[in-house]
Amino acid sequence: MLDIFKGKVFVVGDNTDTDQIIPAKHLVYSMKHPEERLNYGKYALSGLMEEEHKVPFISSGYESEYSIIIAGENFGCGSSREQAPASLMIAGVKVVLAKSFARIFYRNVIDVAYFIPLQLKEGNNEVFKTGDTVVVDIKQGTVTKEEKHLSFYQLGEAKDILEAGGIFAFARENNWIK
């Protein structure tokens, strides 16, 4: 796993739910079919209310210019659909920093190693604005842009699972399963 990520930020508020991350009407595509799978990236975060977000997450194509999401509390709440974290990964998200994550969403992210979920220690998601370029330093536990910064908790044992490529790969590495 990389220790430093640099990219553009997309900022969302509290209680961003799985239907905002990938609306149910877009769950018709096959995750196994390579071309259809891209549609999950194309429609990632398309359920956000337009009046709240003047800038679309995906402006064209299937991949977003925003590789880092900074969110408020309870990111990924709602139904436990596995397509929600997958859609963000397909759209090119590498890191999501949030005040807190919905439990099932967080486990889905870790179990399949979709991207790196980091919980903010202090501050809030209003320190940065959509479009800012930031540096996320996993070892230092910080996300910064010039003099602005936020701190986040270390991943702990979840880091080993993410580095292995998900829970099953981690279990195989440790000879818990074949």
The answer to whether the CB of 76 falls within 8 A of the CB of 21 is yes
The answer to whether the CB of 173 falls within 8 A of the CB of 167 is no
All domains in the chain, ordered by first residue? 4-173 (3.20.19.10)
What is the torsional sign of CA 50, 65, 9, 72? positive
Quickly tell me which residue has 């044992």 as its tokens.
Answer: 157
Residue 176 burial (C-beta neighbours within 10 Å; 0-12, 13-18, 19+): exposed
The pTM score is 0.94
> pLDDT by residue (tens digit) across 39-66?
999 999 999 865 566 788 998 889 999 9
* Structure-block tokens of residue 74: 């309870």
**Segments of the chain scoring below 50 in pLDDT:** none
